[in-house]
Chains A and B, each alone.
Chain A
Amino acid sequence: MAAVARSLPITPEAPPPERALPLGVRVRRAILPVFTGLVVAYLFLPIAVMIAFGFNDPEGRFNYAWQGFTLEHWQNIFNRFPALNEAIKVSLMVATISTLVATTLGTLIGLALTRYEFRGRGPLNVLIFLPIATPEIVLGASLLAMFASLGVARGIGTILIAHIMFNISFVVITVRARLAGYNRTLEEAAMDLGADELTTFRKVTFPLIFPGIMAAALLAFALSIDDFVITQFTAGRTSTFPLWVYGASRIGIPPQVNVMGSLIFGIALIGIVGWILLVRRSLGTGSARVDA
């Protein structure tokens, strides 16, 4: 910790040049960064394997050992397994709709919790916290128990119901975190200047909380598109991308799964980097405007 304190700009004494340090100190200082690097490598090992084996040319059904390089699976990715395309379409549709609905409902709850005083706040907080503290398998199982008791046929509709349900809590928590440090003086100023409530919301409140809503939507989309457990219980015969991959894994995973995984990873990577650049740019101009 002394090392940390010494490297901070507020301490007057300058850190001694690296070379002057004894070997023992240099080794000790390197332990944490090296450890962190190893953990990052551990996090990315399965992803690297996934990408690599998308180029493998397996002879049998099992894509386990490296046998040769091919681009074949990348070329026929969309026409080899029609069911896989269908599953991806279902996944994208479910993720989009559940994100839109859950973000709307969750944002409304977040606004109510941070901007209004009302009775019943305690039970509401419990209702929002409980789905997060319940294991996914119990969420899925209880929905299945209800749908089966009522004789509801399972399919895209029931998957959507489930995804919206588990996303609402995450949206509320994300939006509330953004709203917590937010003061109402700007809104009051707008009202004083003659704006009605709707105009104030549209021109002041909404732009201020928009980054929080976007972060919540991003989280909801990621949770929905990757969900396996709750979907397995509520899907019936319908297949989503994770369900299809799981089914395929029991009879030998085709390399197309690796290609699909690499594609999704690539798109997500581009999306996130683009998102970060966008936020950086809007922060550069937007925060200046708010401060002024």
Chain B
Amino acid sequence: MSGWLRRHRGLIPYLFLLPGGLWLIVFFLVPIVTMASVALQEGSLGTGYRLTFNFGIFPEAIARSDTQLIRSLLFGLIVTALALLIGYPMAYTIAFRGGRYKSILLLLVILPFFTSFIIRTISWQFILADNGFLLGTLKGFGWLDERFRLLATPIAVISGITYNFLPFVVLPLYVALEKIDHRLIEAATDLYASRLQAFLRVTLPLSLPGVFAASLLSFIPAVGDYINAELLGSRNETMIGNVIQGLYLVNNDYPRASALSLILMVGILISVFIYIRVLRGQELTV
């Protein structure tokens, strides 16, 4: 065996790749292709499905869920912007002002991950409930109108998703900011750049790879999320994820659910592609 391997050294990397690569092909690529074929089938779970190349399912699925598609895209963009606005100053502080507390601060960012995502979202349900301890207390003091509510509003859903993906934004931003050579910023200020100019023309452009990774890591899961809309929202906040989940697991309408999943996936890939182009153009002008 080892003699054979020595004679065919070029095969070693393929032997290393084979098990994991096969796993990804069989349980990632094949399912996506199966899903695409399910979208083009007609029938029901009871009577069985037949492949009819029903491409009309795509415009139909879009037309029936256009509100949720647009809402998901919009929520995803708002969440990404909010997470960057909150996460950037935080990552900046940890990277440049953290000193010997750096690793503790980073640990604090990661720690919330170690409670279940579901439990954290349910905790927000507690906190934001109409007579929960936040609103209930404020209402008790008469500082808020009795009818004021947060739960079952877009605010609750958007802040819930932002909360969930904030650590995903802080970590890549921190990594990018940490790498920046402080002497470059010093050079800028020595050359009479104001602190704002030094930030806008040195620090910010150098941290763009982090901004890129951070926005993808929040945008992609945010657009597909359905837990926050389900636990913190009402019927007016349902997202595309809720529709897909309902069609698959409750209504068993596999073709339309598969079509919507494909639309979501392709939509995200196109957005990512556009974003890469825009960011690249940005880098050239800076």
Chain A residues within CB distance 8 Å of chain B: 1-5, 7-8, 10-11, 32-33, 35-36, 39-40, 42-47, 49-50, 53, 63-66, 104-106, 108-109, 111-112, 115-118, 124, 127-128, 130-131, 133-139, 141-146, 148-149, 161-162, 164-165, 168-169, 172, 222, 226, 228-229, 232-233, 241-242, 245-246, 249, 253, 257-258, 261, 264-265, 268-269, 272, 276
**Given the complex of chains A and B, what is the CA–CA distance between A265 and B114 in angstroms?**
6
**Given the complex of chains A and B, what is the CA–CA distance between A148 and B269 in angstroms?**
26
Contact call A133/B248, Cβ cutoff below 8 A: no
Contact call B269/A108, Cβ cutoff below 8 A: no
Contact call B25/A272, Cβ cutoff below 8 A: no
Taking the closest CB of chain B, its distance from the CB of A126, in whole angstroms, is: 10
Interface bits B228-246 vs A (CB < 8 Å: 1, else 0): 0001000000000100110
B93: contacting residue among A35, A168, A222, A268, CB under 8 A = A35
- B158: Cβ under 8 A from any A Cβ: no
- Chain A residues with CB below 8 A from B195, complex form: 1-3
Closest 8 interchain pairs by CB? A135-B224, A46-B123, A105-B20, A268-B114, A116-B13, A142-B31, A112-B16, A146-B31
- Chain A residues with CB below 8 A from B132, complex form: 64-65
**Given the complex of chains A and B, what is the CA–CA distance between A108 and B221 in angstroms?**
28
Taking the closest CB of chain B, its distance from the CB of A136, in whole angstroms, is: 6
Chain B residues within CB distance 8 Å of chain A: 10, 12-14, 16-17, 19-21, 23-25, 27-32, 34-35, 38, 49, 86, 89-90, 92-94, 96-97, 103, 105, 107-109, 111-127, 129, 131-133, 136, 163, 166-167, 182-183, 185-186, 188-189, 195, 198-199, 202-203, 216, 220-221, 223-224, 226-227, 231, 241, 244-245, 248-249, 254, 257-258, 261, 264-265, 268-269, 272
Beyond A32-B93, A65-B133, A265-B115, 16 additional contacts (C-beta under 8 Å) are A36-B89, A40-B105, A47-B120, A49-B133, A64-B131, A104-B19, A105-B23, A135-B241, A138-B265, A141-B257, A141-B258, A142-B34, A149-B49, A233-B248, A249-B118, A264-B114
- Chain B residues with CB below 8 A from A63, complex form: 126
**Given the complex of chains A and B, what is the CA–CA distance between A131 and B111 in angstroms?**
25
- Chain A residues with CB below 8 A from B244, complex form: 137, 141
**Given the complex of chains A and B, what is the CA–CA distance between A198 and B5 in angstroms?**
13
Contact call B123/A5, Cβ cutoff below 8 A: no
Contact call A40/B16, Cβ cutoff below 8 A: no
10 contacts between A and B (CB under 8 A): A4-B182, A42-B163, A43-B166, A124-B21, A141-B257, A146-B30, A164-B23, A165-B24, A222-B113, A269-B114
Q: A33-B93, A109-B20 are in contact. Are A2 and B227 (CB under 8 A)?
A: no
Contact call B17/A47, Cβ cutoff below 8 A: no
Contact call B116/A241, Cβ cutoff below 8 A: yes
B261: contacting residue among A141, A148, A165, CB under 8 A = A141
- Chain B residues with CB below 8 A from A146, complex form: 30-31, 34-35
- Chain A residues with CB below 8 A from B136, complex form: 65
- Chain A residues with CB below 8 A from B118, complex form: 228, 242, 245-246, 249
- Chain A residues with CB below 8 A from B203, complex form: 1
Taking the closest CB of chain B, its distance from the CB of A115, in whole angstroms, is: 8
Task: Tell me the interface secondary structure of chain B in the complex.
Answer: helix
Contact call B227/A138, Cβ cutoff below 8 A: no
Taking the closest CB of chain B, its distance from the CB of A139, in whole angstroms, is: 7
Contact call A138/B93, Cβ cutoff below 8 A: no
- Chain A residues with CB below 8 A from B17, complex form: 108-109, 112, 124
Taking the closest CB of chain A, its distance from the CB of B72, in whole angstroms, is: 10
Contact call A64/B258, Cβ cutoff below 8 A: no
**Given the complex of chains A and B, what is the CA–CA distance between A229 and B245 in angstroms?**
9
**Given the complex of chains A and B, what is the CA–CA distance between A152 and B67 in angstroms?**
34
**Given the complex of chains A and B, what is the CA–CA distance between A7 and B100 in angstroms?**
13
- Chain A residues with CB below 8 A from B105, complex form: 36, 40
- Chain A residues with CB below 8 A from B167, complex form: 43
Q: A2-B189, A135-B220, A261-B115 are in contact. Are A118 and B13 (CB under 8 A)?
A: yes
